Chain A
Amino acid sequence: MVENRRGFRIACHLVLLAGVAIVAFPVWLTFVGATLTAEEILAAPMPVVPGGRLLENMATVLASGSGMGSSAPVSTMLANSLVMALVIAIGKIAISLLSAFAIVYFRFPFRTTAFWLIFVTLMLPVEVRIMPTFKVVSDLGLLDTYAGLTLPLIASATATFMFRQFFMTVPDELVEAARMDGAGPMRFFFDILLPLSRTHIAALFVILFVYGWNQYLWPLLITTQEDMYTVVIGIKRMITGGDAATEWHLVMATAILALLPPALVVLLMHRWFVKGVVETEK
């Protein structure tokens, strides 16, 4: 900022605070709701300061879900979400590393074909192919399994391209020096390329973990048994049609539980995350 006018700076801070307020308000309200009893919530308007029942609500929900609509314990759903997020994040990273390595450091027939094949997946988000993909997964007998939840989402073009971009910035001389030292391709990959990719891997991990955790449409289609639900779709089931029966305090407790893990991952690794988000799209 060139000028140093205090008024201007204060105005900026106010704008940002307003932004933060807007961002935090829904979360705050839900948090408050998670600390109240059912009766306190239904007494309109809902209070905006926390009550004292946070732990009880959470315990209830973790053990037995919400009585109405969905009886699966949230702890199971959280575990499912965790498995899904971790498998997707780690799986995508591993596969993309290998694919990017192959594309950048080798010359072979069909290399361009492979590249375009991978590129095409950028243009096919799951939402545009739900029915046929569902049929394929169902035919393979993968409904209600972790494999069915994760495999279709595990080939990512963005991660591959990001690694490709990064690998292309690694100086040629490093590869040559490694060859002179007698390192074969896989040795080079593990000893040199991977360590150099650490920050990119960390950044991608944050993005992919959040992506995996937040999946909605796909788990919705694939899982029919309650004990395979992820917490993100589990919440939807808790909100039944007529809201007289919905146990809002439990729903809100679940919502808080559902958004904690990805929020923690983002906050703890935020430096890599910011770098990663901006890098992936280039």
Chain B
Amino acid sequence: MARVALRGVRKLYGQQVAIESVDLEIADGEFVVIVGPSGCGKSTLLRCVAGLETLSGGSIQIGERDVGHLEPGERNVAMVFQNYALYPHMSVFENMSYGLRIRRMPKAEIAARVDRAAQILGLGELLGRRPRELSGGQRQRVAMGRAIVRDPEVFLFDEPLSNLDAKLRSQMRIELRKLHARLATTSLYVTHDQVEAMTLANRIVVMNAGLVEQIGTPAEVHGQPASRFVAGFIGSPAMNILRGRIDADGAQLADGGRLQIADPSLRSWAGREVDIGIRPEHFRPGPIEGAAISATVELVELLGADTIVHARRGDAQILARLHDGAAPALDEEVGFTPVPGSLHFFDPATGRRIEPGQSAVAQPAASGT
């Protein structure tokens, strides 16, 4: 169990930049999830911490040690792979104990550790079996068992649930939370699924194209997205982004429609264009008069507890999520009004969030650490 510090971490493949520059401090016992679309560099970052990739720049510290030049086996970390990576010719017991056998741990202690991990994960019956005799979920648990018995300073997870079916995935998410509550080992977890990120993380790191967009708690990342990218990535369905021009008391939207903005701090942006973000759950449909925007309903998705309404006005598409079952009809023109105080503003040039009180002068917003 230890802190992990990434400073200026950079990774190149030839001329291609996989990771531009990443700074990240993980506290002892924290569960940090790195999330982002394919190719954003999250797996690469994890593998750099693991030692499976060499750094092109920057440093990585685990505990008090600088591990950048150490082999994976020397870093005292354990990894759970997406495809489980179990040794096919070894039994579950042998798979789990392999790392300990290499370190020449006494047999009795190996047995004790494996038993303990098997108990935690419910693998007791399976210790003699081969991986090919196990189901996907069982294999995943063996992979986790292998990591647990090592009792490392850091757990690394590389999209471990991606190969499981939806139901199993939600079960395993809960198992993982309980596991972390029990073991409290510092964990770094990579996924492209933002639901996993939101439910598992103490803090989330959102990455895009080799750069960190935001680091924050799930609430921060959801409630105060630091950039248009984060706003669109976190939350499902995605946040609506509308282009509008700031004027005296609000914003004039590109396709007609008008938003009232109570917060006076945006006055410095008057005359300029901004991107306005509104989450689908913050839109209220209603009559056209007095509504901020009016749009024609194209599609209605009835999801049971929620209803998603897709509406269009000109080129702009609006998504609204409703709870109370009152769904408008197709081709009906409906008015949409955002709940007051639920607006997010982004600088169209940089994509960064415009903080209340921030002046219009281009000022890169510091990503919350």
Contact = CB atoms under 8 A, between A and B. Distances in A.
Is there any pair of Cβ atoms, one from A and one from B, under 8 angstroms apart in the complex?
yes
B337 to A, nearest CB: 51
A179 B85 contact: no
A196 interface: yes
B73 A183 contact: yes
B157 to A, nearest CB: 12
Nearest to A198: B89
Nearest to A174: B85
Interface string A164-195: 00000001011011111111100100011001
B64 interface: no
B364 to A, nearest CB: 37
B50 A180 contact: yes
Interface in B113-152: 146, 150
B74 to A, nearest CB: 7
A181 B99 contact: yes
Contacts of A173: 81-85
B77 interface: yes
Interface string B70-84: 011110011101111
B103 interface: yes
Given A180-B72, A182-B73, A182-B102, A192 B87 contact: yes
Contacts, number: 60
Contact of B85 (A177, A191, A195): A177
Interface in A1-51: none
Nearest to A187: B102
A258 B52 CA distance: 54
Interface in B69-112: 71-74, 77-79, 81-89, 98-99, 102-103
Contact of A195 (B72, B77, B86, B89): B89
Contacts of A176: 50, 52, 72, 79, 81, 85
B88 A179 contact: no
Q: Is the interface of B mostly helix, strand, loop or mixed?
A: loop
Most interface-central of A173, A192, A195 (chain B CB within 10 A): A173
Interface of A: 171, 173-174, 176-184, 187, 191-192, 195-196
Nearest to B89: A195
A-B pairs, top 10 by smallest CB distance, nearest first, are: A182-B73, A181-B99, A173-B85, A177-B85, A195-B89, A179-B72, A182-B102, A180-B79, A180-B72, A173-B81
Interface of B: 50-52, 71-74, 77-79, 81-89, 98-99, 102-103, 146, 150
A221 B87 CA distance: 48
A187 B150 CA distance: 18
Contacts of A177: 79, 81, 85-87, 146
Nearest to A182: B73
B52 A179 contact: yes
Contact of B78 (A180, A191, A195): A180
A133 to B, nearest CB: 40
A1 B103 CA distance: 57
B89 A181 contact: no
Nearest to B74: A182
8 contacts: A173-B85, A177-B85, A179-B52, A179-B73, A180-B50, A182-B99, A182-B103, A183-B98
A173 B87 CA distance: 10
Given A196-B88, A196-B89, A179 B81 contact: no
Contact of A181 (B73, B83, B84, B88): B73
Contacts of B78: 180
A184 B89 CA distance: 19
Given A176-B50, A177-B81, A182-B74, 11 more contacts: A176-B85, A177-B86, A177-B87, A180-B78, A181-B102, A181-B146, A182-B72, A182-B73, A182-B99, A192-B89, A195-B89
Contacts of B71: 179, 182
Contacts of A181: 73, 98-99, 102, 146, 150
A10 B76 CA distance: 68
A21 B52 CA distance: 60
Nearest to B73: A182
Contact of B87 (A174, A180, A187): A174
A179 to B, nearest CB: 4
A42 to B, nearest CB: 59
Given A171-B83, A176-B79, A176-B81, A183 B88 contact: no
A183 B72 CA distance: 9
B103 to A, nearest CB: 6
Contacts of A179: 51-52, 71-73
A30 to B, nearest CB: 43
Nearest to A192: B87
A61 to B, nearest CB: 45
Contacts of A196: 88-89
